[in-house]
Protein backbone atom coordinates (compact mmCIF):
# COMPACT_ATOMS: atom_id res chain seq x y z
CA UNK A 1 0.00 0.00 0.00
CA UNK A 2 1.30 3.46 -0.86
CA UNK A 3 1.74 6.12 1.79
CA UNK A 4 0.80 9.76 1.70
CA UNK A 5 3.25 11.99 -0.19
CA UNK A 6 2.26 15.10 1.77
CA UNK A 7 5.32 17.09 2.84
CA UNK A 8 3.41 19.98 4.36
CA UNK A 9 5.71 21.27 7.09
CA UNK A 10 8.68 19.17 6.01
CA UNK A 11 7.87 16.24 8.32
CA UNK A 12 6.00 14.18 5.77
CA UNK A 13 3.11 11.84 6.46
CA UNK A 14 2.98 8.05 6.64
CA UNK A 15 -0.75 7.49 6.47
CA UNK A 16 -2.01 5.15 3.76
CA UNK A 17 -3.27 6.95 0.68
CA UNK A 18 -6.83 7.27 -0.45
CA UNK A 19 -7.44 4.79 -3.28
CA UNK A 20 -5.51 5.76 -6.46
CA UNK A 21 -4.37 9.03 -4.91
CA UNK A 22 -1.00 10.28 -3.67
CA UNK A 23 -2.38 11.58 -0.37
CA UNK A 24 -4.12 10.22 2.69
CA UNK A 25 -7.64 11.18 3.69
CA UNK A 26 -6.23 13.84 6.02
CA UNK A 27 -4.23 15.64 3.40
CA UNK A 28 -6.09 15.17 0.16
CA UNK A 29 -8.30 18.18 0.95
CA UNK A 30 -5.36 20.37 1.89
CA UNK A 31 -3.82 19.59 -1.47
CA UNK A 32 -7.09 20.20 -3.21
CA UNK A 33 -7.44 23.60 -1.54
CA UNK A 34 -3.86 24.49 -2.39
CA UNK A 35 -4.63 23.62 -6.01
CA UNK A 36 -7.64 25.90 -5.94
CA UNK A 37 -5.45 28.62 -4.51
CA UNK A 38 -2.91 28.09 -7.28
CA UNK A 39 -5.51 28.33 -10.01
CA UNK A 40 -6.70 31.59 -8.49
CA UNK A 41 -3.08 32.77 -8.54
CA UNK A 42 -2.78 31.73 -12.17
CA UNK A 43 -5.80 33.89 -12.89
CA UNK A 44 -4.14 36.80 -11.06
CA UNK A 45 -1.02 36.36 -13.16
CA UNK A 46 -3.09 36.29 -16.33
CA UNK A 47 -4.82 39.50 -15.26
CA UNK A 48 -1.49 41.15 -14.50
CA UNK A 49 -0.15 40.11 -17.89
CA UNK A 50 -3.22 41.50 -19.61
CA UNK A 51 -2.84 44.80 -17.78
CA UNK A 52 0.81 44.84 -18.74
CA UNK A 53 -0.18 44.23 -22.36
CA UNK A 54 -2.49 47.26 -22.34
CA UNK A 55 0.17 49.33 -20.61
CA UNK A 56 2.55 48.44 -23.41
CA UNK A 57 0.00 49.44 -26.01
CA UNK A 58 -0.69 52.63 -24.11
CA UNK A 59 2.98 53.53 -23.83
CA UNK A 60 3.43 52.78 -27.49
CA UNK A 61 0.55 55.08 -28.40
CA UNK A 62 1.94 57.83 -26.17
CA UNK A 63 5.36 57.46 -27.77
CA UNK A 64 3.86 57.75 -31.24
CA UNK A 65 1.85 60.82 -30.27
CA UNK A 66 4.88 62.41 -28.63
CA UNK A 67 6.85 61.74 -31.81
CA UNK A 68 4.21 63.90 -33.49
CA UNK A 69 4.79 66.69 -30.96
CA UNK A 70 1.99 65.85 -28.53
CA UNK A 71 2.92 65.93 -24.83
CA UNK A 72 1.35 63.46 -22.47
CA UNK A 73 2.31 65.56 -19.43
CA UNK A 74 0.83 68.72 -20.96
CA UNK A 75 -2.32 66.81 -21.78
CA UNK A 76 -2.63 65.53 -18.20
CA UNK A 77 -2.06 69.07 -16.88
CA UNK A 78 -4.80 70.31 -19.19
CA UNK A 79 -7.23 67.60 -18.02
CA UNK A 80 -6.66 68.01 -14.27
CA UNK A 81 -6.34 71.80 -14.36
Report the SS3 class of residue 16: strand
CA–CA gap between residue 50 and residue 29 (Å, rounded): 31
Q: Does position 13 bind Zn ion by CB under 5 A?
A: yes
Of 23-52, binders to Zn ion (CB under 5 A) are: 24, 26-27
Among 15, 41, 42, 46, binds Zn ion (CB under 5 A): 15
Q: Does position 17 bind Zn ion by CB under 5 A?
A: no
CA–CA gap between residue 18 and residue 65 (Å, rounded): 62
The residue ranges that bind Zn ion (CB under 5 A) are 4, 6, 13, 15, 24, 26-27
Amino acid sequence: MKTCTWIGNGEGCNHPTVKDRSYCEHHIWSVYQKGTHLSKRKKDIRTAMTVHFWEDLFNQAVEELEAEGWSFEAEVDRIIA
